[in-house]
A = this chain, B = another copy of it.
Amino acid sequence: MSTSGITRRRLLAAGSALAASSLLGQHTQAHASVRERDISHWDLSTDALIVGSGVAGMAAAIEARRAGADTLVLEMQESRGGSSAMSGGVCYLGGGTALQKALGFDDSVEAMLDYIVAASGPHPHLERIQKYCEGAVGHFDWLVANGVPYTQQFQREKEFPQETDNSLYYSGCELNHPFRDIAKPAPRGHVPGVPGHGGWRLMQALNDTAEREGSKVLTAVTGKRLVQADDGRVLGLQVMRHGKLENIRARKGVVLACGGFIRNHDMVKHYAPEVAAVSTPHASPGDLGLGILMGMGVGAAAIRMHQAMIVLPTYPPERALRGIFVNRRGQRFMAEDYYYGVVGHEVVIHQGGVAYIITDADHAYPDNHFYPHIAQANSIRELEQSLDMPDHALQETVAYYNRHATQQADPLFHKHADFIAPIVKPPFHAWRMDASQDFAPILTFGGLLTNTDAQVLHASGDVIPGLYAAGRTANGLPQAPYMASGLSVGDGSFFGRCAGRHLATRQ
């Protein structure tokens, strides 16, 4: 319930009301398409024009070039790699990858598919999931062949991938109820085997490969409007370069791979109002929704624009998961051992943006933990009062949890027995998860509707010839709640490749 006591005046003062006249395009000046006849000349010409140098764009470039296309990548920033380079670089892959096999894990295409389908929100893109799962083993080999390094090390603890150089881990909810009973669990998070952000290493490898094989990259060039023939075919792109408009001909097609719109706050308020209150986006400043707006400018369907990845990291250390999460009313609302991407979704979408982590002395976070430590008390009753919760609510929640925890049971949410322990040893602690205050890196899932070849579809359902989208410019595998790390980079790189290959075959 979003019924906090906001008065109109407070709302006006906060500037959080939405004026219809606020221009979505003020960051971007993305406009309607330009007709071919309104273009006096072409400044540049290529076969494949790829907008964005993140993982989707570079994967598209590599494949287009290998299929014989002249390939040009445009990046609006001075530096390359987009949000992919800032990410963990995890790809969600399985079905028996070389790394899974080397580390002794058994997996199948079917188990992977069953997990993704069951863990997705309603109406996932089944055809695309199937193509992705069937291609996952080959996609891992492709990453290796293009220079992405992996170690033969498995990460057992729930941990940020960038804290170690391990390369395989359970990056989702495979071991959680009910998924562990739906699909045989396997670790599918494949992460470059380097300490620090694997995304940077991933992008270094793909960028090097692309350039070595002849793709060209221009930075500080911003896409503005697609150029269309009278029959609707996309022929090129009008861009801003060195402060003036230039026209770039794309003989075989344009791939929009320039990310989502999490850094365009006007767009977030318009399209995804429920997530607009979430604090600091952790994403490239280029995630302004430009590719989505350019696609909409030629009538493309942009779907599921309300969904986003909202991370409220609850581990490491995983010991705190032996505590409980409660909402402002002191009620539990989910199994605490879920992937933190799901925690973020639950707290922001279903619990009004605020929740608390309650632990006893044995399972507390360290002093310098990420979330603010807002209460400590020698009894749950005192803790409840410090948190200003309804009379006896937290006490009853903890008593109920403890009564079953002594039997290693969690009848409400079926948390894994490894994370069940009675909350008994004082002092008791409370940490606050507040999406509007605390670090909550997010990206948007909504984007252009595409088919399994990454071709963009018009609102009518027809293919727009010559136009492709991949990564978060498209709506793909990532759906809310985001059930595993690696689905976005995995989907972006995989369908980026599909775009590059399909485009190169066009006459």
Contact = CB atoms under 8 A, between A and B. Distances in A.
Interface stretch (A3-11, A79-87, A199-207, A363-371): A3-11
Nearest to A411: B390
A299 interface: yes
Contacts of A16: 122-123
A101 interface: no
Given A11-B117, A346-B1, A30 B305 contact: no
27 contacts: A1-B346, A3-B118, A3-B119, A4-B178, A8-B113, A20-B452, A21-B451, A22-B461, A23-B462, A24-B301, A24-B461, A31-B460, A32-B460, A123-B273, A271-B303, A271-B304, A273-B479, A293-B459, A296-B301, A297-B459, A297-B460, A298-B299, A329-B413, A349-B350, A393-B411, A393-B412, A396-B400
A507 interface: no
Contacts of A334: 1
B460 A29 contact: yes
Q: Is the interface of A mostly helix, strand, loop or mixed?
A: loop
A504 to B, nearest CB: 21
Contact of A274 (B122, B178, B450): B122
A30 B349 CA distance: 33
Interface string A281-310: 000000000000100111101111111000
Nearest to A307: B306
A8 B110 CA distance: 9
B123 A17 contact: yes
B296 A125 contact: no
Given A32-B299, A331-B331, A276 B122 contact: yes
Contacts of A460: 23-25, 28-32, 293, 297
A124 interface: yes
Interface string A408-432: 0001110000000000000000000
A19 B127 contact: yes
Contact of A127 (B21, B31, B35, B457): B21
B117 A17 contact: yes
B8 A114 contact: yes
B122 A277 contact: yes
Residue of A271, A329, A396, A461 ringed by the most chain B CB atoms within 10 A: A461
Given A113-B8, A118-B6, A31 B462 contact: yes
B12 A126 contact: yes
A158 interface: no
Interface in A344-391: 346, 349-350, 390-391
Given A5-B178, A6-B182, A32-B299, 17 more contacts: A2-B481, A11-B117, A11-B126, A16-B123, A17-B126, A18-B124, A19-B125, A24-B457, A25-B462, A273-B304, A273-B479, A296-B296, A298-B299, A305-B306, A306-B306, A306-B307, A396-B400
A458 interface: yes
Interface string A246-275: 000000000000000000000001110110
Interface residues of A, number: 98
A16 B122 CA distance: 8
Given A182-B5, A459-B293, A459-B297, A127 B20 contact: yes
B451 A32 contact: no
Copies, count: 2
Contacts of A277: 122
Q: Which 4 A-B pairs have the closest CB atoms?
A: A23-B461, A17-B126, A390-B411, A25-B460
Given A21-B451, A32-B460, A122-B273, A304 B306 contact: yes
B8 A179 contact: no
Contacts of A303: 270-271, 305
Interface in A68-119: 110, 113-114, 117-119
A136 to B, nearest CB: 15
Contact of A411 (B7, B28, B391): B391
A214 interface: no
Interface string A199-234: 000000000000000000000000000000010100
A121 interface: yes
A393 B35 CA distance: 64
Contact of A20 (B30, B114, B125, B269): B125
A26 interface: yes
A35 B451 CA distance: 27
A41 interface: no
Nearest to A451: B20
